[in-house]
Chain A
């Protein structure tokens, strides 16, 4: 596939937003049970709005992917069958919850909705946080399933696709939360940094597993099944057009194998190795600058990772576009 910048930015940016929200609410949940000190409302509020900025930017990027953005509202119609349609519904829902969660914190309108038998009061922001967590995961699953449900794109058709969207989005969000905490709630940097380290490590495992799987894939479709002629040697001599077509532009990235493998090495270094190193350093030596480098490197690495994710998928239609003479 030819990676589309709009989709690369969409999936990575909303991943950061989801991860940041999950990080903030994880901390608030710990604080609810007095496992961690409760932070001021401004910490959660502005953090949630920061996540909203990321998801909003992602949404804008997604519009750039559409040929007819003015009709985008129609995309909510087929939620019964289409994962893309489900994502189109869940993404704005998540943004609304980010806004409400942030607004409740910042305006101080946070009434106790339920009192548990133990006497613990459940605030509106906690309920919003739980709903938001479910919606954040629903969004990860919808985004991942857009790719994982295409059965003949064998590189994507795997549970690892969804798992990696969850892990990589969460990793970048938790790294950003660590940076955010280092600046505005230094006492919590260790908590966020620890989780960021664990999730980044899990992300590395998940992504390595899918790299390992995809390197060993046997393509089900061949030129023989594509045109239905059973001969071991079939060479394409013409593809019906000499100046290229949508099929050659959309499904071929046109980069050399060495370029693709360089992208792979760079995303393994930037998205995983460097952040893991800096997050480990963070455990003993806290530095906003190092965490900023960690987040920027990880985000840039994830951009490369997403580019590679698209580039490594070999679409069976390419079998019909192997040569022009």
Chain B
């Protein structure tokens, strides 16, 4: 079984929002209709987005870290939003595990949004149907695109390659390796939703230097003792520098 997912590397994300704009551009231009905005140039612009980048400050000044946190539908393996849908508009695809909404069946009752602990679903205020990340399902299978472009728009846009895309059920995929080797984790594991999307934690690169590595073990000075320090009036070895 395939389970497509994103793996987002928080160690690399710089919070540039390129994934947000790229996602919006692709998904507002598709056959499923626009992602409507309201008051886009007014005082309180608001609109439908599949993906948002949030920013958190971790720690107490001055020991703080700024964490940019991209957030979209996690395509849970046990999605709580699907069984509650009264119409069957919300469904999880068997073939690739993508959770989708059929915009032609949705009645806009918002119950699925209540049932999602991550707040991944947003109602389109103009079309009055529930919308969410589709993992660019209209793009990743499009054979008219060159193979390297068959990825979600957010992954294509990320300038730091913080977003990986692939099948987390394939142990040899890049995403599975990243989760395995870089301590990938799921959000709110306490609810048993088994999110397919994973996050890679911030990492610090430390170089541990042991005391005995500071001096060569075969240092002749150690073997023979240190040379006596010459006095200031003594001539130097090169007649230029002085002690």
Contacts and interface: CB of A to CB of B under 8 A. Distances in A.
Contacts of B188: 152, 221, 225-226, 316
A288 to B, nearest CB: 40
A317 B105 contact: no
Interface stretch (B57-65, B133-141, B151-159, B235-243): B57-65
Contact of A241 (B49, B69, B113): B49
Contacts of B54: 236, 238-240, 320
B123 interface: yes
A321 B118 CA distance: 11
A318 to B, nearest CB: 8
A135 B13 CA distance: 54
B9 to A, nearest CB: 13
Interface stretch (A17-25, A69-77, A181-189, A272-280): A69-77
B119 A320 contact: yes
B87 A77 contact: yes
B46 A72 contact: no
Interface residues of A, number: 57
Given A67-B123, A241-B52, A315-B114, A82 B86 contact: yes
A246 interface: yes
A240 B46 CA distance: 11
Contacts of B69: 227
A237 interface: yes
Given A74-B87, A246-B123, A68 B190 contact: no
Contacts of B127: 67
B116 interface: yes
Contacts of B66: 237
A250 B191 CA distance: 21
A146 interface: yes
A228 B87 contact: no
Nearest to A243: B44
A245 B82 CA distance: 22
Contacts of B115: 150
B16 to A, nearest CB: 12
A73 B151 CA distance: 37
A100 interface: no
B228 interface: no
B118 A75 contact: no
A243 B39 contact: yes
A246 B129 contact: no
B32 interface: no
Interface in A48-83: 65-69, 71-72, 74-78, 81-83
A74 B105 contact: yes
A250 B113 contact: yes
A153 B114 contact: yes
Given A231-B59, A235-B57, A239-B52, A75 B123 contact: no
B164 interface: no
A71 B117 contact: no
Nearest to B122: A246
A238 B114 CA distance: 22
A71 B87 contact: yes
Interface of A: 1, 65-69, 71-72, 74-78, 81-85, 88, 146, 149-153, 220-221, 223, 225-229, 231, 233-247, 250-251, 315-318, 320-321
Interface of B: 17, 20, 39, 43-49, 52-60, 66-67, 69, 71, 80, 82-89, 105-111, 113-119, 121-123, 125, 127-129, 185-191, 199, 201-202
7 contacts: A74-B89, A77-B88, A152-B191, A238-B55, A239-B54, A243-B45, A245-B52
9 residue pairs, one from A and one from B, having the closest CB atoms: A67-B108, A67-B128, A317-B119, A240-B52, A85-B86, A81-B83, A243-B44, A75-B86, A238-B55
